[in-house]
Each structure stands twice: as C-alpha cells, then as structure tokens.
Structure 1
Amino acid sequence: MRICILVTGEPPAPLDNQFGDYPSMFERLIKPAAPHFRFSVANPLRGEKLPAVSDFDGLLVTGSPAGVYEEHEWIAPCAELIKRTAAAPKPQVGICFGHQLMAQAFGGKVIKSDRGWGVGVHDYRISQTAEWMSPPSNQIACAVSHQDQVIEVPMGAKILGGSDFCPMGVLEYAQGPAMSFQQHPEFMHEYGTALLRLREDRIPADRFGVGIDSYNNRTDRELMGKWIANFFMMHGN
C-alpha cells in the first residue's frame, strides 16, 4: 500500500538534525504494524508539486506550526487535495494541523482557542469506537502541542474522542474514508520534551512545568500507530 505523507510543517532547528523529519517519525510509528507499506513524501513548503490522487493509496497529513486560517499559499491546494482524496475515495489520516485542515476542508471550523496552549501528554476519552480501533481502548494518552482547536465539526462527522480541554480531539468524517487526531502519536518522549523546552518562552510557566512532568508518563502512541495502519488497510483498495 502506497502512503503519501503530506508535509505541512518541519521540526525546528536544531531538533531536525537530532530527531529527523516528520515523515521519518511517521514511518517509524506505522511500519511495525504495516511493514508492507511504502511511503512517499510531498512537501509543498519547499515548492514541491502536490501529487495526483492516482499516485497514492492513502494520504497522511502532518502537523505544522501554521494555522489553517492563515494565508499561506500552500494551504488551499492542500485542502483541495484532501477533498479530492475523499472523493476518490481513498483513506486519509490527519494529525494536529492535519486534523484541523481536514475538518476545515470538509466544512468545520477551527480557531485559536482561548483555552491556550495544550502541551505534554494528554489523555483523551474514547466516546465512540470504530472497527479500526483494534485492539480497543477507552482512553489514549499521547503528546499534544497546539493552540488551535476544531470547534465545529463538518456535517456527518463523528466525534470519537477528546478531553475537557479538547472536546473534538478524534474525528471520523462522512465525506470520505477519513479520520484525524489532534494528538501527535509520531512524537517520541524525547522529541516532545525537546520541542516543549524550545518553546518555553511562549508557554505559561505552570503549564510548561506540568507538560514537562507529563513526559514521565507512558503513552499509547504505538497503539495509535496500529490504529492508523488499520484504518488505511481497512479502507484501501
């Protein structure tokens, strides 16, 4: 199965040299559950042409420091690719910014939340289960790093999970085989901690401290990697 990773953000220097780029993080996350997947990368941030839908079997949209409501020239073409992928119909998964862009592309609403920064490891309750959530769990703990949130879901979307801080944290869409997480399962603890320390001056001290301490806790990132692989395999042609 050919998975195209649509790059909408890159690790800040100097973390890129230490931890690699986001496509490599996603490959490390998903490969154990789907060793037969083949990955390609499309990076519109570097002026690369976006792929045709026929070029891949599934699409994965990464996180980004950008906001989906900002006027970057690459955002609208990425949203159109999401719509074309849904219409194909081919499976796609969105992570953080990808979660927000997917929701917006299908008719939802995203804002910079007055709840402020979400950082560290957050627990999301799973309120509705889906077939691809195997093995099942009623809660997932995973890294987050965001200020923006989905506040209105597209028509027909299911809210599968979230938290009091981020109620619309896991979505599945009616427009095509598509689902998304606000969390960052591709973040290893070491990367999440390093990224948070790099952003210390932007984040309230109390929230920063709790976020750093939370990386001492276990996460369900491997489980979420299995869920992502399951979703692609269940909806692939």
Structure 2
Amino acid sequence: MQIGILQTGHAPDELQPEHGDYNDMFERLLDGHGFTFRTWRVVDGDLPEAVTQADGWLITGSRFGAYEDHPWIPPLEAFIRAVHADGRPMVGICFGHQIIAKALGGKVEKFEGGWSVGRQTYTIEGQDMALNAWHQDQVTEPPAGATTVGSSDFCRHAALAYGDSIFTVQPHPEFDSAMIEGLIEARGRAVPPERVDAAMQSLSMPNSSGEMAARLASVLLKASR
C-alpha cells in the first residue's frame, strides 16, 4: 500500500548528507511494514489533487508554526479536512500533529513553558514511552472529536486520536539522537542553554521510536483491511 508523505518542512541543509530530508527519515522509520511511499513537498507548493492518490497519509514536522500565514497552509488544511471526511488513515508528527488539530477546529499556540528538546517521557495509550522532542508550539485545545491519548508533564496533549483513522503525536520518533545533536548545532541558539544541556545528557539513553513506528503503521495499515 502507498503512503503519501505531505512534507511541510526541510531538514537543515548541513544535516541532509547524513540524515536525509524529513521524508527520508519517515521512510526509514516505517521500513519493514509493507509500505511504498510518494512525497508531496507541500512546503514548496506541491499538494496532491485528491485524497485517493494514496492509501494513507503522513504529515511531517516543520520549522513553521501552524498558526503562521503561509500560502501553502490553507490548502493543506482543506486537504486534511477532505482526508478526515473520506475516512482515509492519516498520521501527523509535531507540526503534523498541530496542523491536523488546527484544521479540524483546535487551537495551536507557542507554549508559555518554552522549548521541549531531546529525550522526553510520555504516557501514550497507557504505555510509558521515551521519544525525542524538538518543539516550542503545542496543541492547547484539541478539536471536537479528538481524544487526548498521550501526555507528559510538559505537554498535556502530546498524542491525539480521531476515531481509529487519525493518530497524531507531538514528539519525533523519526529523529534519532544524532539528528537531535545536529539540530542543536544548527538551530539551537533559540533554545535556553540549560535545556540544551539537559537534552544532550538525555540522548545516550534508549528511546521508544520502534514502538511508536509500529503504532503509526497500525493506523496506516487500516486502509488495507
């Protein structure tokens, strides 16, 4: 089955030789689950014509805010609503988590508590999970019809489920520790030094990216049932 990746941002140029772009990271994360992939670079103005062009959809992270004024965001929100109406499976990560919530009537804001960077601990669907994070924005009000199924002390709405066809998470299972280290070097000036230090100390510990990959795949595989 084919998964359409809606790419809403690019990895820093200096990190792409080692890590690839965001779509490449998700293809690696979901390798072995029987998917093929096609990427639409929405951030560059490339959007699918119809929800039927893929069996399921995945929306990546981005350095942009879901509440910002960019010409590609309103068409993306309309596409999200069309996928939701069609019942086709969709997953969203970080910005993807936020833009799906906003498109369906929720609220996204720059969080007053600031940045979350590095390995963070969440409870998602009753399971403790450690996942890498890189964000300042959060979903502060989920839309009607969404259920909060994951949270942490820092992020109240860290995972949302919309029935059984849409599942979204705030952290980044596709970011390994080396990617977080690279982001700190490339974009870390905006992050308070004490949070950078804590993040660097956390990265040697194991995380739950494999478990989260399986959960994302289980949602997308609903299209084949």
Superposition TM-score tier, normalisation by shorter sequence: over 0.9
Match of 1:139, SS state, is strand
Give the partner amino acid of 1:7. Answer: Q
Alignment check: 8 A CA contact 2:91 2:168 kept: yes
CA shift at 1:59, angstroms? 0.5
Alignment check: 8 A CA contact 2:106 2:143 kept: yes
> After the TM superposition, which of the residue ranges 50-59 and 162-171 deviates more from structure 2?
50-59
Match of 2:26, SS state, is helix
Number of corresponding residues = 225
% identical equivalent positions: 39
Match of 1:86, SS state, is helix
1:193-212 equivalent positions in 2, closer than 5 A: 193-212=181-200
Residue 172 (structure 1) aligned to one of 161, 166, 189:
161
Match of 1:116 in 2: 114
Rounded Cα–Cα distance in structure 2 between residues aligned with 1:162 and 1:112: 17
Match of 1:41 in 2: 39
1:1-237 equivalent positions in 2, closer than 5 A: 1-32=1-32, 34=33, 36-126=34-124, 128=125, 138-174=127-163, 177-236=165-224
Give the partner amino acid of 2:12. Answer: P
Rounded Cα–Cα distance in structure 2 between residues aligned with 1:216 and 1:51: 43
Unaligned runs of 5+ in 2: none
Rounded Cα–Cα distance in structure 2 between residues aligned with 1:56 and 1:142: 28
CA shift at 1:235, angstroms? 4.5
Give the partner amino acid of 1:206. Answer: E
Post-superposition Cα deviations, 1:194-228, rounded to whole Å, max 9, x if no partner, equal 11222232111111100111111111001111111
Rounded Cα–Cα distance in structure 2 between residues aligned with 1:236 and 1:77: 27
Match of 1:134 in 2: none
CA RMSD of aligned residues (A): 1.3
- After the TM superposition, which parts of structure 1 deviate over 6 Å for at least 4 consecutive aligned residues? none
Give the partner amino acid of 1:89. Answer: G
Alignment check: 8 A CA contact 1:58 1:236 kept: no
Give the partner amino acid of 1:210. Answer: A
TM-score (norm 1): 0.91
CA shift at 1:233, angstroms? 1.1
Give the partner amino acid of 1:8. Answer: T
Post-superposition Cα deviations, 1:22-60, rounded to whole Å, max 9, x if no partner, equal 11110111112x1x2110000122232434111111000
